[in-house]
A and B are shown apart, each in its own frame.
Chain A
């Protein structure tokens, strides 16, 4: 594949960015979830 560095690098960068965002959101949810009673989590 021509220009594989740019193309594969672009995919890696994209997945790294969205994975990091997802991980941060999940981590915040875990952290806050311990401080909030389940009764106040109206998605449960």
Chain B
């Protein structure tokens, strides 16, 4: 198994003497810069979204919610596309690098949280604009379906088995689930919808927004893009460490089983659920050989 991880390129070097220090976590100089930029961009989003942006002629003040609602769904689309591409690179790649699988999983997690934010903020916007929190409208329903699909994807990732089995299963779902995005995006045109049509990503390229409103939206997109980048790097590194520790538990369980088979005492006692999973993996492997 290879541990090559495409996102794990860093620029920070720390001593490896086991002492507490910057090497304890998943941060590097690069992620700290992205983190600070994210906080600054979020501050700008609050300033423009709640302060400088004018109210809309039709939507009035509720337009301010769109500076969160629209960027979160756009970045969620991006996250799910990254999941699909990384899944494809794992599934069809010759090296079968689990780094791609971890990138796919991390990106899907973040995308799912962003869709949840989109749905909640959209419901609040709907209450102010339409008078109701929810309608079984085409756009809302397909977005909810997208959310449920990726919750399912994340559930599949947590099923038992080896890392390779997890990667294969989830890669197939990751590549198929992304096909829902065009359905969500064009649902307002495919069906009669209560939801408004696109104001920026229109098919004919027209932008029908006031300049300051468009700039506020742009700030939101930048802020959530940086947040996504920061989260995906950290989460991928956490997953790499989880896999590494899982492998060690598996090795320990194999050693313990071997010791039992020759009549010796097991050298390692396993006591948590992760270890049980490792033991299950040993059983699986022994069953297949």
Contact = CB atoms under 8 A, between A and B. Distances in A.
Interface of A: 1-4, 6-11, 13-15, 17-18, 21-22, 25-26, 28-30, 32-44
B132 to A, nearest CB: 13
A33 B26 CA distance: 7
B102 interface: no
Contact of B62 (A7, A26, A35): A7
Contacts of A9: 124
23 contacts: A1-B61, A4-B61, A11-B68, A15-B42, A18-B117, A18-B231, A21-B110, A22-B227, A22-B231, A26-B234, A29-B27, A32-B238, A34-B20, A35-B245, A38-B14, A40-B244, A41-B240, A42-B5, A42-B8, A42-B240, A43-B12, A44-B13, A44-B14
Interface residues of B, number: 51
A2 B13 CA distance: 51
B72 A44 contact: no
B105 interface: no
A14 B121 contact: yes
Interface of B: 3, 5, 8-10, 12-16, 18, 20, 23-28, 42, 46, 49-50, 60-62, 64-65, 68, 72, 110, 113, 116-117, 120-121, 124-125, 127-128, 227, 230-231, 234-235, 237-238, 240-242, 244-245
Contact of B61 (A2, A21, A40): A2
A28 B72 CA distance: 24
A3 B125 CA distance: 10
A8 B68 CA distance: 11
Contacts of B3: 40, 42
A20 to B, nearest CB: 9
Given A11-B46, A17-B113, A29-B234, A3 B14 contact: no
| Top 4 A-B pairs, shortest CB-CB distance | A29-B26, A43-B10, A38-B16, A32-B241
A11 B216 CA distance: 14
B113 A21 contact: yes
